[in-house]
Amino acid sequence: MCRIRFGKTIYCVIIGLIWFNRDFSDQATIQSAISGLIIEIALNFNRSAFESLKNSGNLSKIEDLIYNYYRLVDNIENQENDLLKWCNELELELNKNGFMYKWLKLDTKTHQDLTKKISVYDDQLCEHIGHGIIMNILFRGGTNTTFLTPLYEEQIKAGRELSQAIEN
């Protein structure tokens, strides 16, 4: 997930430069970035290992490490759920104000494959009220390294420490 978040951050920076320079020649990148930010990947931690360790009798030796690891998991899940809720609300707003309809040209095209070019972002869309929402989404995506990446890095470190403790 950390790599995915970092990749989305880079996309946001690229798209920001595209919009600042009004260079809409790379529509595939624009579409991928917007779709990737609006369509969030659900986070799913597997907590069954904790139950196995609890039942093994080895929990007391590594209990603090386990609780620290799952505290970080809970924190990340909360942040990810907040981000998912925020993205869903903004996507709904983009639909309500007609931005998605206009961007996807739903009045002239039927789309069946999101991996193909389905849209054209241009100066006219930059004037639409939904463009400001897209810029907010890009801002949030571009700042993921500020708050989410450190949480993931801390969780990865805690996971390594826990794995080492279990092996010893």
Domain boundaries, the chain: 2-167
| Contact by Cβ (8 Å): 65, 165 | yes
Query: What one-letter code names the amino acid at 144?
Result: N
For residue 61, give every residue at least 6 positions away whose Cβ sits within 8 Å of its Cβ, in sequence order, or none: 165
Strands (E), the chain: none
Q: What is the rounded CA–CA span in Å between residue 121 and residue 67?
A: 47
Nearest to 91, CA basis, from 107, 79, 110, 104? 104
- Give the three-class secondary structure for 61: helix
Q: What is the rounded CA–CA span in Å between residue 126 and residue 73?
A: 38
pLDDT reading at 155 higher than 90: no
Question: Which carries the bigger pLDDT value, residue 149 or residue 2?
Answer: 149
pLDDT category of residue 94 using cuts at 50, 70 and 90:
very high
Q: What is the rounded CA–CA span in Å between residue 89 and residue 162?
A: 37
pTM of the complete model beyond 0.85: no
| Alpha-carbon separation of residue 90 from 18, 35, 53, 87, 110 (angstroms) | 21, 13, 41, 5, 23
Eight-state DSSP code of residue 39: S
pLDDT category of residue 29 using cuts at 50, 70 and 90:
confident
122-142 tens-digit pLDDT: 888 889 999 989 888 888 777
Q: Which pLDDT does position 84 carry in this prediction?
A: 82
Phi, psi of 57 (to 5 degrees): 90, -5
> Residue 141's CB: how many other CB atoms inside 10 A?
25
